[in-house]
Chain A
Amino acid sequence: MAAKKITPKRPSGSGTKRTERDTATLGKIEKLARGALAQATRGDNPGVDIRTRTLANVSFNQKRKIIELGDRTQTREFFNVAMARKFMQTMLVASGCKTLIGEGKTVSIRQMFYMTKHTLPGSSENTFEDQSESDPIIEDLEVGIDALREELHLFANRRGLVVGKLVVNDAGDEIDLSRMGRGGWGIPSICEPDALSFVKNSAEFILLVEKQAVWHRLNEDRFWEKHNCILLTSEGQAARGARRLLQRMATELKLPIYALVDNDPWGLYIYSVLKQGSINLAYESMRMAVPQVRFLGMSAFDYKKFSMPKAAEIKLTKEDVTRAEQMKAYPWFKDAKWQREIQATIDNGFKMEVDALLTKRISFITEEYIPKKLRDRDYLQ
């Protein structure tokens, strides 16, 4: 896989050079620590204010068409049985990030888990039992001190592939995305301008597919060459890298973006997150949401339009229906066209995977489905 992430624009992690951003982040971390210490010294309960990342505290900004985090905060107090452990973990991660910034190094969130994991003296309790405990703490810290993940010198495992008519510069290396062979270019977890820039673009649109297998199908068929586009897969729910890259392409390259996901509530939610952000990362929506992404498919109505065979159907489960009903209630799906789309899936009583297009022909998707949808401007937005 390509491009192992190296400290941006720096030949090696010597750590002596500190950017302004680093200094600012360090200031935020120190403020957090000093605040807690001051509270303890006063005999108060040391706490960290964290904006709550729950459905109740996000709102849909109708004007900007993105999900925004509300102002409701929860104070994570140390002297509170339910929160003490998380408070301790937050401080550990903060301290770990300070070390990273100080040494000018960047680690994955999994590596941060190991950096901060140890056994508490005199017990069998670990500071973190597994990564599922430390990941949310990192997100908490981001919200708590208002710092971005990359500012904390952390990155997630990269996920997502891209090929197409675009040349980028990543950490000093120029990469022609039209010469990536079968594997494609792995999207780095951090796609900020200081590390990644667009050198030359000749694409006319961007096509994002949910599944790697579908991306592979299209790549093998050289879809992007024929249609002069950039072909991207998020490999499931889009990671921050893919979302940030998509947003930058949308704004900097000013290209239309089409998304192709499975025709089920989960596929639709992947689209939804790309478009207006997620509840959990609502504080990042500004940098990541791409409201102009178009929903190309698969639509519940494609079944008839393309005369899909019965074999393409998968019965909806109870869970699917429940999830679909939830989605119908989201403010950003209140539009009649979305209500119609979701209701149609429920009424159909079945879901369809993009892969199901292969019931027709191996390259039906490349040769007929996508071109027809694009031609007919058969998408939702």
Chain B
Amino acid sequence: MFSLLPNAIVDGLLIGLTYGLVAAGLALIWGVMDIVNFAHGEHMLIAMYITLLTTAEFNVDPLLLLPVNIVVMFVIGYATYALIIKRVMDGPILGQVLCTFGLLLVIRYGIMYVAGPTTRTIDSFVFAGSTTIAGVSVSFPRVLTALVSIVTVAALYYILEETKVGKGIRATAQDKQAAQVLGIETDRIYAIAWGIGLAAAGVAGTMVATFFPVQPEATPVVWTISSFAAVALGGLGGILGPVAGGIVIGLVENVGSTLIDSSYRQLYVYVVLIGALLYRRETILNGVSG
């Protein structure tokens, strides 16, 4: 059993970084605006279907669609805030919840209407395949997804820490009224935060589609369940916390499955999550920082 531990650790790191990327986008919106985007998985789905349909139709490599999806998802995020979310920002929490849940349904079933309910996979990918290094099997698409996750998280960190927009986002997250007094256009900051959050979802969706079967109803759930747990574990205090949470969840899932019993994969995650929350209850709902 212990001989399989290196494989489990590698698998856990790879999948954990992917959870972390999804969680980073989720946490950004959640942390800045105190709105939970229940449609985050469905926003990933948009990028997945852009990737799947474009590669099938035009025989384009999925990797070339990464910048396209980043731009498209940023625009969708910006527009979603400006046209929809802004109108419920000052309303009751229930209205905000219903709003993002409504988005979930519209996107999910809109995609199903357009693309059908078929489970799809990428036909060709330049980095398809796998190899074995020191007895550990690794899938190239999963490794590449993990690397892209690291680069994306680093970019998000840089944006939040070093750019004027990032400082505006952090200032708005800490105190909206104070930010307004200082001349920050908080509505624009919110829209940009949505844009960046969904662009991160776009990166995740594009990369996950390279190795994971995609179906409109089932696929988003797989990635958002663990990512919500990653946010809860890592806290809303910034980008790095949720990413760390994602890595911990990936490791717990895989190491627990290898050493104990793979049938209880979810149990290990939630035991750790509940334990961590009991130990550090204040981690959730802190302000955004790097």
* A and B associate: no
Interface residues of A (CB under 8 A from B): none
Interface residues of B (CB under 8 A from A): none
